[in-house]
Chains A and B, each alone.
Chain A
Amino acid sequence: GENVEQHPSTLSVQEGDSAVIKCTYSDSASNYFPWYKQELGKRPQLIIDIRSNVGEKKDQRIAVTLNKTAKHFSLHITETQPEDSAVYFCAVHTGTASKLTFGTGTRLQVTL
C-alpha cells in the first residue's frame, strides 16, 4: 500500500519567519495531495490541496508544491503567526476507493 513520510516531526520558528514541511509518497498513481491543520483537541481542517496535474498552488500565506517525478510535495507557510501553531498533516489520495493515507504529522510552534 501507499507509504507517506513526513518531515520534520517538530518545527519551531519565530513569528514572521517561513516554515516548510515536506512529504514523500510511494505510489506513482497518487493524484491528490491535501494538507490538514489540527489544533489540540480539534478536528483536522483542510487548509490547501493540490492535484497531480498542477505543480504549485498558493492561497495567501500558504503554498503547496508538488514534484511528481521525485514523488514529494511540500507545504510552505510565509510570515508565520502564533495562530499558525498546530500539528500539520499531509495526506495522499490512494486508489479508486478515495481513501487518504496520512503522514505522521509535524508539530509547528511559532514563537514570539
Chain B
Amino acid sequence: NAGVMQNPRHLVRRRGQEARLRCSPMKGHSHVYWYRQLPEEGLKFMVYLQKENIIDESGMPKERFSAEFPKEGPSILRIQQVVRGDSAAYFCASSPGTASYEQYFGPGTRLTVT
C-alpha cells in the first residue's frame, strides 16, 4: 500500500521562476492538504482540496500561490515568481474523507530559491 507520494523531493529555483510541486494521495484517499514548514519551525496549513474543489485556502498567500486537485492526476501546488522567502519544505497530507480526521504526510518537497 503506497503512502503519500510527492515529487520532486528537492527543487532548486532562481528568483522569479515558477515552482510546481506534485502530490499523489494514498490509495482510497480523496482529501489533500498542503502545509509549509520553515527551517526549525512547525507546519503551517496552506490549503485543503478535494477532487476538483478547493475547500479551504485560508492559509495560502494571496498572491503567487495556487493549488489544484484535478479529476485525474496529482494535486499541484504552484508558486509563481518565487522569492527567497519561499524556501521551505512543503508537505502534502491526505485523508480518507470528512468522517476520518487522520492525516498522513508525504516525504515533502524541499524548495530552495537562489
Contact = CB atoms under 8 A, between A and B. Distances in A.
Interface in B79-110: 91, 95, 98, 101-108
A70 interface: no
Contacts, number: 57
A45 interface: yes
B23 to A, nearest CB: 12
A51 B99 CA distance: 12
Nearest to B59: A99
Interface in A22-55: 31-32, 34, 36, 42-46, 49, 51
Contacts of B42: 89, 102-105
Contacts of A103: 42
Interface residues of A, number: 22
B22 interface: no
A95 B44 CA distance: 16
B105 A98 contact: no
Interface size class of B (residues with CB under 8 A): 20 to 34
Main secondary structure of the interface of B (DSSP, over half): strand
Given A98-B98, A104-B41, A42 B107 contact: yes
Contact of B31 (A31, A98, A101): A98
A100 B103 contact: yes
Contact of A97 (B56, B102, B105): B56
A46 B94 CA distance: 12
Contacts of B108: 43
Interface of A: 31-32, 34, 36, 42-46, 49, 51, 89, 93, 97-105
Given A32-B101, A44-B43, A99-B58, 13 more contacts: A34-B101, A42-B107, A43-B106, A46-B104, A46-B105, A89-B42, A89-B43, A97-B56, A99-B56, A100-B33, A102-B35, A104-B41, A105-B41
